A and B are shown apart, each in its own frame.
Chain A
Amino acid sequence: MSDPVSIWDALLNPFDWVRIPFDSWVSTGIQFLVTHFRPIFQSVRLPINSLLRSFQHLLLNTPPTVVLGVLTASAWQLAGRQVGFFGFLALSLIGFVGAWQPAMVSLSLVLTAVVVCLLLGIPLGVLCARSDPFEKLLRPLLDAMQTLPVFVYLVPVVMLFGVGEAPGVIATVIYALPPLIRLTNLGIRQVPEEVVEAALAFGATPNQILWETQIPLAIPTILAGVNQTVLFALGMSVVTSMIAVPGLGLVVLRGLNGLNVGMAATGGLGILLLAILLDRVTQQVGQIDFQRTWYRRGPIGWGWKRWQRWQARDPH
Chain B
Amino acid sequence: MIKSLFSLRRSAVMLSLGLALVSGSQIPSKVFSQTTARVEGKVIRPAASTNFYSLFLAEIINEGLKELGYQVETTQQLQVALAHAAVASNDVDFLTAHWENLNYPMIVSNGGEERLERIGVLVDNTVQGYLIDKVTAEAHNIENLEQLRDPKIARLFDADGNGKADLVGCNPGWGCAAVTEHHLEAYELTDTVQFVQGEYDALIADTITRLQQGEPILAYAYSPHWAGAFLQPDENVVWLEVPFTTLPEEQADASQVNTLVNGRNLGFAVDRIRVVANAEYLRNNPVARRWLELVSIPIEDVNAQQKRVHDGEKAPEDIRRHALEWIEANRQLFDSWLDQVRQVAG
Which residues of A does B touch, CB under 8 Å?
34, 38, 45-46, 49, 53, 154-155, 158-159, 162-166, 238, 241-245, 250, 253-260
Contact = CB atoms under 8 A, between A and B. Distances in A.
B176 to A, nearest CB: 11
Interface in B30-54: none
Given A255-B173, A256-B1, A154 B202 contact: yes
A34 B160 CA distance: 18
A260 B172 CA distance: 11
27 contacts: A34-B209, A46-B161, A53-B162, A155-B202, A163-B168, A165-B160, A166-B160, A241-B198, A242-B202, A243-B198, A243-B202, A244-B168, A244-B196, A250-B172, A253-B1, A254-B172, A254-B173, A255-B173, A256-B1, A256-B173, A257-B81, A257-B171, A257-B172, A258-B81, A259-B81, A259-B82, A260-B173
A242 B173 contact: no
Most chain B CB neighbours (cut-off 10 Å) among A154, A158, A159, A166: A158
Nearest to A27: B312
B163 to A, nearest CB: 11
Interface string B196-233: 11110011011001100100000000000000000000
Given A49-B160, A244-B197, A159 B206 contact: yes
Q: Chain A CB within 10 Å — which of B177, B197, B198 has the most?
A: B198
B174 A257 contact: yes
Contact of B198 (A159, A244, A258, A260): A244
Contacts of B160: 45, 49, 164-166
Contacts of B82: 259
Contacts of B1: 238, 253, 256
B290 interface: no
A49 B163 CA distance: 13
Residue of B160, B166, B172 with most chain A CB atoms under a 10 A cut-off: B172
A257 B80 CA distance: 7
Interface-centre pick from B159, B209, B213 (highest chain A CB count, 10 A): B209
A163 B203 contact: yes
Contacts of B206: 158-159, 162-163
B90 interface: no
A243 B199 contact: yes
Interface of B: 1, 79-82, 84-85, 106, 109, 159-162, 166, 168, 171-174, 177, 196-199, 202-203, 205-206, 209-210, 213
Nearest to B175: A258
A159 B161 contact: no
A229 B210 CA distance: 32
Give the secondary structure class of A's interface: helix
Given A250-B172, A257-B177, A259-B109, 7 more contacts: A38-B213, A46-B161, A164-B160, A164-B166, A164-B196, A244-B203, A255-B173
A242 B1 CA distance: 10
Contacts of A165: 160
B22 to A, nearest CB: 22
Q: Which of A45, A53, A162 has the most CB of B within 10 A?
A: A162
A267 B240 CA distance: 34
4 pairs of A and B residues whose beta carbons are closest in the complex:
A257-B173, A258-B173, A254-B172, A244-B198
A164 B159 CA distance: 9
Nearest to A165: B160
Contact of A162 (B79, B81, B159, B177): B159
Most buried by A among B174, B199, B210: B199
B217 to A, nearest CB: 12
A53 B79 CA distance: 33
Residue among A242, A245, A253 with the most chain B CB within 10 A?
A: A242
A164 B161 CA distance: 11
Given A38-B213, A159-B206, A162-B159, A250 B109 contact: no
Contacts of A38: 209, 213
Contacts of A49: 160-161
Contacts of A253: 1, 171-173, 198
